[in-house]
Amino acid sequence: MHLTATGDPDGPHLITAGQTTPAPPADGAVTETVPQAVAARDLRPADHGVDRAYPDADSVVPSHAPGIDLLGPVQRAPRWHAPAGQGFDRTACPIDWAQQQGRCPQGQPRRVWSPRHATEGNAVIPIPFDRGTCGSCGERRVGTQAAPGPRTRNLRPQAQHEALHAARTRQETKEFTQRYKRRAGIEGTISQGVHGFDLRYARYRGLAQTALQPSFVALAINRTRLIAWLAERPKAQPRPSRFAAAFQHAGMSPLPVS
């Protein structure tokens, strides 16, 4: 069940859209359909906060959902250079999109440019660097971990590549952290649905009937929250875990997990 709720700090957090899917599809499969459902009700948000499972190279392109800022962390560069903090990561390999040419960190050009589709269907542009030049390079060991062959860089098309780079840069800023905090409200919505309304207990079989049950759960949550808001009952504040509470009681703070 994919839920979308408002995040106005001065109003009730009401569920504006919900979508039930079979278990196998990834969360990113609904990144496009959920904003469409919200926009169809004239409830288009300026920011749509999502968790890491939803954004991908296609959905972070600004033209994917015009007028909506998909606010969520994207996967970091899936290479050993990023977590290790050493060697040459992807940003060290400049790309000339107009000339369709890539260069290695030492400035060696590579003109092989063969767009294709990966196994999962995503459009990619593999750029294998020259075997002879890469093999004799003194910086090869910090550029690739491939034992026999040269380094190969796989690019997404230009729009997706630039959007991913911009998203990865933005999510390291304090501004992103502050704006993203508003998404914490949806975790409370899911918790309320699970513990108060049996959201994860399906009473029926088949997607058509199973999808109807969460819709009624969403209506019940909205009704409960509207009553609480009209009665001016304050929202519950996030509670620390028992582990964090033990540290706070001792006047200490738990170490960050890397």
Q: What is the rounded CA–CA span in Å between residue 200 and residue 62? A: 34
Q: Residue 175: what pLDDT?
A: 93
Residue holding tokens 């304050």?
Answer: 234
Q: Which residue range(s) make up the domain with 142?
A: 81-159
Give residue 56's pLDDT band: very low, low, confident or very high (50, 70, 90). confident
Claim to verify: residue 64 and residue 187 sit in the same structural domain:
yes
Q: Residue 10: what pLDDT?
A: 84
Sign of CA dihedral 125, 83, 92, 163: positive
Once rounded to an integer, what is the mean pLDDT over residues 96-108?
A: 78
**Is there a domain that residue 164 lies in?**
no
Whether the predicted pLDDT of 221 surpasses 90:
yes
Claim to verify: residue 108 and residue 41 sit in the same structural domain:
no
Claim to verify: residue 197 and residue 70 sit in the same structural domain:
yes
**How many domains are there within the chain?**
2
Q: Residue 257: what pLDDT?
A: 46
Claim to verify: residue 68 and residue 104 sit in the same structural domain:
no
**Is there a domain that residue 252 lies in?**
no
Distances (CA, A) of 70 to 45, 165, 203, 219: 10, 14, 33, 25
**Is there a domain that residue 258 lies in?**
no
Whether the predicted pLDDT of 126 surpasses 90:
no
- Taking alpha carbons only, the member of 149, 152, 89, 70 closest to residue 118 is 152
**Is there a domain that residue 59 lies in?**
yes
Claim to verify: residue 155 and residue 87 sit in the same structural domain:
yes
Q: Per-residue b/e over 235-246, b at no fewer than 16 CB within 10 Å?
A: eeeeeeeeeeee
Claim to verify: residue 111 and residue 147 sit in the same structural domain:
yes
Give residue 60's pLDDT band: very low, low, confident or very high (50, 70, 90). confident
